[in-house]
Amino acid sequence: MKQAEIKRAFEGYLRRRSLKLTTQRARIFDRAFATHEHFSAEVLYDWLSKEPGVKVSRATVYRTLSLLQDGRFMKSLDVGRGEMVYEHVLGHGHHDHMVCTDCGRIEEFHDERIEDLQLEAARKKGFEIVSHDHRLIGYCRSCSAKRKKDATAAHVSRAAAAS
């Protein structure tokens, strides 16, 4: 789905809620859909503050992200850092996330075996899945390697101090 189509759908969603696509909301929409990164409301506000264009308040960013999420144009993800991050979902297939607790990197992945196991588990319990979020928390390849290197260095230092 193209961004222009999504924007028209968002405008229709707003109209149904007796709201308008203001220049501020349009600017927030355009910036949010211009990236494929996961971003927090504060990061989005920072981007908008540094770029030319109509001024947008922090409160308007939060309210517009809430509207985009309520209308299922965007999805939020709790990455365990005290703030939600967002990504646009229209036109993107279902995927899950791996979140690095050290650097904050977010890797998207999809594994049909996991999807099948979830469906099987739900079927066994008579549960009808409407939606799901699967999030793996840990360390990315780079941070994991750094942690192992640091642990080895610390072990060597302790051994040298003991001798």
pLDDT tens profile 15-32: 999 999 999 999 999 999
Q: Which of these, 107, 100, 129, lies nearest to 36 by C-alpha position? A: 107
pLDDT of residue 143 exceeding 80:
yes
Looking at the chain, which residues constitute the CATH 3.30.1490.190 domain(s)? 94-163
Looking at the chain, which residues constitute the CATH 1.10.10.10 domain(s)? 1-92
Query: What residues contact 2, with CB distance under 8 A and at least 6 apart?
Result: 91
Indicate the pTM of the whole model.
Answer: 0.76
Q: Taking a C-beta distance cutoff of 8 angstroms, is the pair 54, 23 a contact?
A: yes
Element (H, E) at 85: strand 84-88
Can you say whether the dihedral through the CA atoms of 40, 41, 43, 48 is positive or negative? positive
Residue 91: pLDDT band with limits 50, 70, 90: low
- Predicted local distance difference test score (pLDDT) of residue 59: 97
Please state, for a pLDDT cut of 70, what percent of the chain lies above it.
Answer: 94
Section 133-141 average pLDDT = 89
| Candidates 3.30.1330.10, 1.10.3300.10, 3.40.50.970, 3.30.1490.190; CATH matching 94-163 | 3.30.1490.190
CB atoms within 10 A of CB 60: 17
CB atoms within 10 A of CB 100: 19
pLDDT tens profile 56-84: 999 999 999 999 999 989 998 888 778 88
Range 1-92: architecture per CATH: Orthogonal Bundle (1.10)
pLDDT of residue 155 exceeding 70:
no
- Strand 96-100 vs strand 106-109: parallel, antiparallel, or unpaired? antiparallel
Element (H, E) at 27: helix 23-33
